[in-house]
Amino acid sequence: MSILVTGGRGAVARGLSALLTSRGIPHRLASREPDRADTVHCDLSDPVTFPGALEGVRSVFLYAEAAGIDAFVKEAVAAGVEHVVLLSSSSVLSPDAADSPLSASHLAVEQALTASSLRTTLLRPGSFASNALGWAWSLKSGRPVHLPYPGAYCDPVHEADLAEAACAVLTDSALGGRAYTLTGPQSLTFAAQLAILGRALGRPIPFEAVTAEQWKSEVDGYIPGSYADALLDYWASTDGLPVDLTDAVEHLTGHPARTFETWVNDHADAFGA
């Protein structure tokens, strides 16, 4: 069994590769910009790179890039790929998913895969715990974190749990061919996440509630306007409303999902600890 792991520079793909290596499972790590000798070139928006990356592959861990998905499906079928595990997003479950920058690409890739002859497993995480890294600059500079919706809830999931879930569905055929919504074990507001982060780092982390317009102006140049608007709309929809949690991580990995506190402890160096 040979597995292609795309998105090779990402934390989930790196974690998955390490798990497969530890089990002696043949695989190749692929990236748009390979930065290691053991990584092959596969730009998911450039079909020219697909045949070489897919040669001899039977399963694929795929990141959701819609630009070249039709060509990727065609090449995967031609190469004899039997199973694709897609790292999608729970945002595809929203009624307006096709029109939202947060979910449209994921949904388009899901639809292309499920319409094909490829056996497809959909991993749909909610909020990545690593989104908190966006606060690192403020923490290091001593400035308050600016939050347009401090009371907005999310379900931060550890990237290690996502890697383990992907490994499970790639190596156990009984688990594949279905969709899983993956969440962390807690529904937490942004303010609560900062409190947990502060306790782990041993210092209080101040934050300021700002208007949506102020936050959008501050991220201009870093986050495209339409994407920023979609984030603001989502945060507004979860302001004061805990999000639903699932036990999918535990079902796939055999252990409870890692807490946000665990994630913080694993990444304390990123915050200047």
Q: pLDDT class for 273, splitting at 50, 70, 90?
A: low
Is 86 a member of any domain? yes
The tally of domains found in the chain comes to 2
Over the stretch 232-245, which tens digit does the pLDDT of each residue have? 999 999 999 999 99
Over the stretch 260-270, which tens digit does the pLDDT of each residue have? 999 999 999 99
Q: What is the pLDDT of residue 141?
A: 85
Q: How many Å apart are CA 153 and CA 237, to the nearest integer?
A: 9
Over the stretch 51-104, which tens digit does the pLDDT of each residue have? 999 999 999 999 999 999 999 999 999 999 999 999 999 999 999 999 999 999
Is 95 a member of any domain? yes
3-state secondary structure of 163: helix
Say whether both 116 and 229 belong to one domain.
Answer: no
Is 251 a member of any domain? no
Say whether both 199 and 236 belong to one domain.
Answer: yes
Residues 6+ apart with CB under 8 A from 185: 245, 249, 256, 257, 258, 259
Say whether both 146 and 236 belong to one domain.
Answer: yes
What burial class does residue 164 get, using C-beta atoms within 10 Å of its C-beta: 0-12 exposed, 13-18 middle, 19+ buried?
Answer: buried
Residue 21 sits in a domain whose CATH number is: 3.40.50.720
Say whether both 43 and 81 belong to one domain.
Answer: yes
Q: pLDDT class for 211, splitting at 50, 70, 90?
A: very high
Q: What is the pLDDT of residue 189?
A: 98
What burial class does residue 225 get, using C-beta atoms within 10 Å of its C-beta: 0-12 exposed, 13-18 middle, 19+ buried?
Answer: exposed
Is 167 a member of any domain? no
Q: What is the pLDDT of residue 236?
A: 97
Say whether both 78 and 120 belong to one domain.
Answer: yes
Q: How many Å apart are CA 68 and CA 70, to the nearest integer?
A: 6
Is 166 a member of any domain? no
Chain mean position to CA 104? 15
Residue 1 has pLDDT above 60, yes or no: no
Residue where one domain finishes, among candidates 104, 125, 146? 125
Residue 255 has pLDDT above 80, yes or no: yes
Is 164 a member of any domain? no
Say whether both 30 and 88 belong to one domain.
Answer: yes
Say whether both 131 and 148 belong to one domain.
Answer: yes
Say whether both 46 and 79 belong to one domain.
Answer: yes
Say whether both 137 and 203 belong to one domain.
Answer: yes
Is 210 a member of any domain? yes
Is 172 a member of any domain? no
The parent domain of residue 239 ranges over: 127-157+184-244+256-273
Say whether both 70 and 100 belong to one domain.
Answer: yes
Say whether both 40 and 148 belong to one domain.
Answer: no
Say whether both 142 and 49 belong to one domain.
Answer: no
Over the stretch 150-204, which tens digit does the pLDDT of each residue have? 999 999 999 999 999 999 999 999 999 999 999 999 999 999 999 999 999 998 8
Over the stretch 117-142, which tens digit does the pLDDT of each residue have? 999 999 999 999 999 999 998 888 88
